Chains A and B, each alone.
Chain A
Amino acid sequence: MRRDAAVLFGQLGVDLDPDRPARGLSIADQQIVEIAKALSTDARVIVMDEPTAALSASESERLLDVARRLRDGGAAVVFVSHRLDEVFALCDRLTVMRDGATVRTCPVAGTDAGEVVRWMVGRELTDLFPKTGTTPGDVVLRVRGLTTDGVFDDVSFDVRAGEIVAFAGLVGSGRSEVVRAVFGIDRYDSGSVEVLGSPLPPADPRAALARGVALVPEDRRQQGLFMPASVARNTAVVVLSRLARRGVVRERAERELAAHWAQRLQLRHGGLDQPVERLSGGNQQKVVLAKWLATDPRLLVVDEPTRGIDVGTKAEVHRLLSEQAGRGLAVLMVSSELPEVLGMADRVLVMREGRLMATLDRGEATQERVMLAATGQASVAGEGSAA
């Protein structure tokens, strides 16, 4: 069995020890193990559901290669993806679905990204990434020498009021881990975090909250929301103390707060008592944003704020973030979507293998420079250019 596994890994062009527990592997390697598992059963039809959602460009490229090889070997591959560039790079035919119904099926050769996007949203899209011109204010977040052994190493940066700073880099490069440590979800081994000039105690999200730090987490369903709970309860959960009188939560205040934010973010919902699990992904993300904006933060950290949401809501989220930054909020954004990073950020921090490789101003940041820093390989720069 061990030998079979090694042979499969060889076919996939990866070097993995079959005895290792899957737990410690990078997401990309776990994905490969997953595919090896499918191959081990000599599958003739392979369905890949968002296989690259958590992968970086070069890792995705490796996966696309594997998919092509499977196809050439005579297997049928169904590839479900949000990433249009991958669809155009890999697929022979595509089917667009919207609201549970098929919109169109056609050969990939006969269409282009613009047309597909129009089918997806059912309307024309104009301004996807609103540009902002802001003058940065005081330093809100100051991170120095932040280190967790084996995860990230000696990370230092500042975020100023009114500024959107983006964390770019490959998945697994330690971006999410850094922001988790800053907010206090995880412990770090050494370094310091300062908010508005005074140090933030480590591993204490409550202290971070009290100091005006908010974190919109990477995984909306697991980390951002209480899925069976209502829109109102989710919106109010972080600010309960403010809504309580002698420990008793005032329901009316809770509903007023939720209604206010629902209106402000143009939340499409079926009543404030509706469980958030019944909302669409984009509207769920709006609830998460409402929940954190309700804390009236000084620093908003957003981790993959538009992952897996529809194009229309994506634009709304971008507009909201720029607007908030325009009012003096400091925004730190982790994103794997290069166009989003380049379109939104005043400054781009690029991480690779747990280290900060470059800090690029808006003027300096181009796809090539970011990719170069993120991969450390000149040959891959320029790849991963999105639609």
Chain B
Amino acid sequence: MSRVLSWDRSVFVLLVVTVAVGAVIDPDFAGGSNLGFVLQDIGEIMLIALPMTFLIMTGEIDLSVASTAALAGCVLGWAWQASGSMAVAVLAAVGTGVVCGAVNGFLVTRLGLGSLAVTIGTLGLYRGLCYALLGDTTVADFPAGWTNLGFSSIPGTPLPYVTPLLVVLAVAFGVVLHLTRTGRWVFAVGQSVEAARFAGIPVARLKFRLFVVTGAVAGLAGIVYDLRFASARPDGALGFELAVIASVLFGGVSIFGGVGTMWGVVSAVLFLGSVRSLLQLQGVPGNALTIITGGLLLASVVIPVVAQRWSAFRERRSRVLAAATP
């Protein structure tokens, strides 16, 4: 892939094209209420995708994020019922996320276990704790003032209340990844863990913190999820982990680490949300939309490889031709 048309730029262009095409063929798509709906729909995915980008950039992965979000959501409901204070409940939920992330981080960085295996384990563990906490019940008596945050929009705009949170966090994560020392470290660790250790980068500490931040943001996403559906359920956010990872990878982050941009990931989440919405409005059944997600994810890895092989082939051929004609 050439410098001009890198993958993250392509995703951004795709996003713009999709929105433009959508606006032309379906007036409902570009309408304000639909925009709000799309943003609400992708809220949790976008939130978790931000720290997940960091983790995957360092060559790690966290499959337990959806279970962490669900557990934080359950803790929110449980703590609200137990304490009667939403402030306490929110703190408890985020704290739960932090603890979940810290457990993952400990197992990966201290015991040296593979994050894929560890987080498949904690995926089950945290989800099991959801049921242990709430059983088969749901908590649905959150105060209306809070649940309104979840599904109404900011007065005078079509935007849901989650929008400012998304914008602030996306900018913050982008700045840290691309402009700061921590960000440089993330790239370095992803490109070579060994060289990073020799360069004095505190690899284990960095990764541990990334797991904790991922847990905390997943906890936040659990709160957003609860408020959106005005209830805490043990089966909340089911399967979100793969959707998040698919978005991050589609956004141009290499599964091997060391390559990626934050705006590529943000564009990817927005693009996938827009495409789903557009197709839904055209009457494509919801379950079939996964073809789009999967197909795009495959395209994101197939196209660069094919393009690279093609350009390598052309370069070789032109060199041979040049050599043949002195």
Contacts and interface: CB of A to CB of B under 8 A. Distances in A.
Q: Is there a direct interface between A and B, measured as CB atoms under 8 Å apart in the complex?
A: yes
Interface of A: 183, 185, 205-206, 208-209, 215, 217, 219, 222-229, 233, 237-238, 240-241, 244, 247-249, 291
B188 interface: yes
B184 A227 contact: no
B97 interface: no
B195 A223 contact: yes
Contacts of B185: 240
- Interface of B, secondary structure class, is helix
B319 to A, nearest CB: 11
A222 B195 contact: yes
A208 B202 CA distance: 13
Contact of B181 (A185, A215, A225, A241): A241
B194 interface: yes
Interface size class of B (residues with CB under 8 A): 20 to 34
Contacts of A206: 200, 202
A223 B181 contact: no
Interface in B185-200: 185, 187-188, 191-192, 194-200
Contacts of A227: 191-192
Given A233-B187, A240-B184, A247-B181, 12 more contacts: A183-B198, A206-B202, A208-B200, A217-B195, A217-B198, A222-B194, A223-B198, A228-B259, A229-B191, A244-B180, A248-B175, A249-B179
A233 B198 contact: no
B138 interface: no
Given A206-B202, A238-B200, A247-B180, A228 B195 contact: no
A233 B200 contact: no
B191 A237 contact: no
Contacts of B199: 237-238, 291
Contacts of B191: 226-229
B216 to A, nearest CB: 19
A249 B176 CA distance: 10
A224 B188 contact: no
B182 interface: yes
A237 B189 CA distance: 11
Contacts of B180: 244, 247-249
A281 to B, nearest CB: 16
Given A222-B194, A240-B184, A209 B200 contact: yes
B222 to A, nearest CB: 29
The 10 closest A-B pairs by CB, nearest first: A226-B191, A209-B200, A240-B181, A205-B200, A206-B200, A247-B180, A223-B198, A248-B179, A223-B194, A217-B198
Given A228-B259, A229-B191, A249 B198 contact: no
A385 B182 CA distance: 48
A238 B202 CA distance: 11
A249 B195 CA distance: 20
